Structure 1
Amino acid sequence: MSTSALVLTLFIAWALYLLVLMEAIRSYLVVSGRARSNEFKPDNANLSPFLQRLARAHANCIESLPVMGGLLLVAIATSRTEVTDTLAPWLLIARIAQSMTHLASLSVIAVNTRFAFFAVQLAIAVYWTWALLAR
């Protein structure tokens, strides 16, 4: 498996982990009688601040997957993973760091840090797009 394929799989696994965590907590809330199963809002607006951040962190992953994952898939499908393999682990690290920062806090410093991790991902995606189109 190429580095790009591994990173794409791990990116999907990270999004899945966030979803499973959210659903496990929601299930606990229902089983413990703290919430009714029909009370959940998609953004967890009626739940704790952590669960609201978790919903948004998961949504961020899903929102960026078509772009980041799509570029990785193009590289894999066209046998051009030499374009993406080197930076793919950094993309994944930046994605997980962005999510973890989002889960930790909404303070100004956390939001700025989260944006910096997103900017790294964006720069990588722009570079990959250029490199895949240029050759």
Structure 2
Amino acid sequence: MNATILALIGYISWTVFLLVVIAVYRTRLVLTKERLPNGFKADGSDSPAFGQRLTRAQLNCAESFVFTGGVMLLALATNSSVITDPLALWLLGARIGQSIMHLLSTSVLAVQIRFALFVVQVVISAYWLFNLGSKFVA
């Protein structure tokens, strides 16, 4: 298994893990009668602070998959994972790190770290896209 496939599996697994944590979190709120089962906004904006951060962390994963996962899938589909393999696990680490920082704190430092980790993902994805484009566009 190459690093791109491993990173994709990790990315998708992380996103699903966060979704399961949201389900457990919301189930607990329902079981303790703090919320009605139909009383949650999809964006988590009506949840307590941790619930909001948890929801946003999971949604950030889904939103970022368009450019991070999309480029990795493009590389795999075109038999070009040699382009993505060297940085694939770094991208996954930045994604997980960003989510963890999102969950831990909203302090200025935490937000700056989270943003830096996001920038790492954008730069890696842009680098990959440039290299893939250079390979296929004459």
Do they fold alike, i.e. is TM over 0.5?
yes
- Residue 18 (str. 1) matches residue 18 (str. 2): yes
Tell me, in whole angstroms, the C-alpha distance in 2 between the residues paired with 1:52 and 1:122.
Answer: 24
How far does residue 46 in structure 1 lie from its aligned partner after superposition? 2.1
Give RMSD over aligned pairs: 0.8
In the alignment, structure 2 segments of 5+ residues that lack a partner are none
- Residue 2 (str. 1) matches residue 14 (str. 2): no
Tell me, in whole angstroms, the C-alpha distance in 1 between the residues paired with 2:38 and 2:75.
Answer: 42
Letter aligned with residue 117 of structure 1: L
How far does residue 35 in structure 1 lie from its aligned partner after superposition? 1.1
Tell me, in whole angstroms, the C-alpha distance in 1 between the residues paired with 2:101 and 2:13.
Answer: 18
How far does residue 43 in structure 1 lie from its aligned partner after superposition? 2.1
Partner of 2:129: 129
Task: Count matched residues.
Answer: 135
How far does residue 67 in structure 1 lie from its aligned partner after superposition? 1.0
Tell me, in whole angstroms, the C-alpha distance in 2 between the residues paired with 1:75 and 1:12.
Answer: 17
> What's the TM-score, normalizing by structure 1?
0.97
In the alignment, structure 1 segments of 5+ residues that lack a partner are none
Question: Which 4+ residue blocks in structure 1 deviate beyond 4 angstroms?
Answer: none
Partner of 1:65: 65
- Residue 49 (str. 1) matches residue 49 (str. 2): yes
Partner of 1:82: 82
Partner of 1:118: 118
Tell me, in whole angstroms, the C-alpha distance in 2 between the residues paired with 1:130 and 1:107.
Answer: 34
- DSSP 3-state at the match of 1:86: helix
> What's the TM-score, normalizing by structure 2?
0.95
Tell me, in whole angstroms, the C-alpha distance in 2 between the residues paired with 1:122 and 1:44.
Answer: 25
Q: Identity of paired residues, percent?
A: 44
**1:54-74 Cα deviation digits (max 9, x unpaired):** 011111000011111110011
